[in-house]
Amino acid sequence: MGMITDGLPGFLEPLPGGSAVLTKVDQLVNWSRSNSLWPLTFGTSCCAIEMMMASGAARHDISRFGAEVVRASPRQADLIIIAGTIVKRMAPRLRTLYEQMAEPRYVIATGSCTIAGGPFIYHSYTTIRGADEIIPVDVYVPGCPPRPEALFYGLLTLQKMIREGESLRHPGERRRPVLSALPEGMTIEDIQAEMRDLLVADANVKMSEELAEGAHWAQELKDF
Amino acid sequence: MQDSPPPGEDQAGEVGFAQALLAAAQAIEPATVLRDKSDRITLQVPAAAIAKICQWLRDDPALRFDLLYDHTAIDWPAENRFELVYLLAAVLDPQPRTRDLQVMVTTSVPRDNPVIDTVCGIWPIAEWQEREVYDMFGILYTNHPDLRRLFLEDDWEGFPLRKDYEDDFMLERPT
C-alpha cells in the first residue's frame, strides 16, 4: 500500500489520461480507508463509557461502520477517539500515542472536555482546554458525554470527510475539522437509514443489485 | 462497649450505638463530640488524639473498624483550618455487630501549621491516602515513612486543592 500511495501519483500523472485514473484510484483508496477505521483503545473518563457502549455493547454496534476492530496498540490503529478529559500528565502520552499510530491517522474528539475543557475550563490547575492543543482533531462530537448515536454520527461524518477530502496527490492533506453535532430529534433509526443509504450507494451493492435482481437478500437489504 | 446495643436497621438502634460509641470515645479522649449534621455517625476529635482514637476504633473487639476506605481533607479558609476526614468500615469481622455501619472521624489542623500524626501504622493503606492528601493540601504527617508527592510532578509548587492556590496555567472566569 505504501508503494502505491507514494509512487503512483508521480508515475501516473504525466501519462495521458493518468489524471482520471488517479482520481478513480483515489476513490478506491478513500472508500477502503473510510470503511476500515481501526480505533485505538483509549479512554480517559466518562466519555469512554459511552464509547464502550458504542463499540462493545449489544444495542449499538460500531462494526456496522467497519470500525469495530478496536486495537490495543497504536501501531495497529488509525483512528483515535479521544474520550474524556485530558490532563497535563496525560498530554505527552496522548501525543506519543498519536505519533505512534499508522498513517493516515484520524482523530475524533468526543465530549465537552476534549473540545474546550468542559466544566473544568476555569480554575483548573491541570485540565487541558481542548485536545486540539495537543493533537490535530478531524471531527468534534459535542455532548457531555455524547450518546453512542452522536458518536456514530461523528464517525459517519469522518467517513464522508475521508471519501471526499483526500487525494493521493496530496498525502496527509485533509479538510478543515468539523463540528459534528447530532441534529435535534435525530435517532438511531435515522442513522441506520443513513448508513443503509451509504451502503446502497456503494458500488459493490449497486453492482450486486443488477446481478442478483430478485435475490432474497437484495430485497431484504432494501427492506432493512 | 460491651453493654452497647447492636446497631440495628432502625434509626433508634443506630442512635443508641452512636451514644455508646461517644461515651467510649470520651473515656479515651474527653474532648470528643458527636456531630449533629451528618449522614453517618461522626466523631469529632482533637488533632492530638487522632492516633489514639483510631487505634481504639480498630482494636476494640466490639468495633473492629479494619478498613480505612477514604481519607481526605477539606479547606476552610474563613475558619483558618483544614478539616481531615477518616472514613471507616468493618469488613473482616464475622460478627455482624458493626457490619454495614460506616463511621467518620474528623479532626482539624490549623492552616498555617498543618501537622498531624500519621495513622499508617494502624491501617497500612493510609500511607498512600496520606500521600495524596499531602500532594493536594500540603498536610504534613509526622512519622510517615515516605511523604512524597503521589500524582503531581515532584517539582510542582504549591498544593492545588487549597482554596487560595493559583498558578499561571489557571484561567479565571471572565466577569
Same domain, A121 and A57: yes
Q: Is B37 on the interface with A (CB under 8 A)?
A: no
Contact (CB, 8 A) for B89 and B102:
yes
Residues of B within 8 A of A125 (CB-CB) are: 160, 165, 167, 169-170
Same domain, A41 and A138: yes
Q: What is the ipTM of this complex?
A: 0.72
Residue A163: which of A22, A68, A35 has the closest Cα?
A: A35
pLDDT at site A203 = 44
Residue B54: which of B86, B95, B83, B99 has the closest Cα?
A: B86
Same domain, A205 and A143: no
Same domain, A146 and A192: no
Tell me whether residue A178 is in a domain. Answer: no
Q: Using CA atoms, how far apart are residues B170 and B160, in angstroms rounded to an integer?
A: 10
The answer to whether the Cβ–Cβ distance between A89 and B173 falls below 8 Å is no
Cell of A76: 495497529
Residue B45: which of B116, B148, B139 has the closest Cα?
A: B116
Structural element, H or E, at residue B110: strand B102-110
Is 3.30.460.80 the CATH classification of the domain at B10-111? yes
The answer to whether the Cβ–Cβ distance between B170 and A124 falls below 8 Å is yes
For A163-178, the pLDDT digits (tens) are: 887 777 777 676 777 7
Residue type, A16: P
The whole-number average pLDDT for the span B53-77 is 90
From residue B142, how far is each of A137, B88, B117, B146, B150 by CA, in Å? Answer: 48, 21, 5, 10, 17
- In what side-by-side order are the strands of the sheet with A79-83? A79-83, A106-110, A139-141, A178-179
For A27-61, the pLDDT digits (tens) are: 888 888 888 899 998 889 899 999 888 887 878 88
Same domain, A150 and A205: no
Cell of B147: 511523604
Could you tell me the end-to-end alpha-carbon distance of chain B, in angstroms, rounded to an integer? 56
- Of the pLDDT bands very low, low, confident and very high (cuts 50, 70, 90), residue B8 is very low
Cell of A155: 464517525
Tell me whether residue A45 is in a domain. Answer: yes
The whole-number average pLDDT for the span A84-99 is 92
| Interacting residues of A206 by C-beta distance below 8 A, sequence separation 6+ | A200
Residue A146: which of A42, A46, A41 has the closest Cα?
A: A46
For A209-222, the pLDDT digits (tens) are: 555 555 565 566 66
The b/e string for B110-131 (b: 16+ C-beta within 10 A; e otherwise) is ebeebebbbbbebbeebbebbb
Residue type, A106: Y
Minimum Cα–Cα distance from B153: chain A residue? A89
Best of A88, A121, A122, A125 to substitute, by most chain B Cβ atoms within 10 angstroms, is A125
- Give residues 123 to 142 of A whose Cβ lies within 8 Å of B: 123-126, 129
HSE-up of residue B175 (Cα within 13 Å, Cβ side): 0
Same domain, A156 and A209: no
The answer to whether the Cβ–Cβ distance between B151 and A89 falls below 8 Å is yes
Q: Using CA atoms, how far apart are residues A23 and A29, in angstroms rounded to an integer?
A: 10
Residue A60: which of A122, A181, A149, A120 has the closest Cα?
A: A149
Task: Kindly report the nearest CA distance between residue B56 and chain A, in angstroms.
Answer: 39
For A131-187, the pLDDT digits (tens) are: 889 999 999 999 888 888 888 888 988 988 888 877 777 776 767 777 877 777 777
Q: Is B155 on the interface with A (CB under 8 A)?
A: no
Same domain, A106 and A201: no
Any idea where the domains of chain B sit in the sequence? 10-111
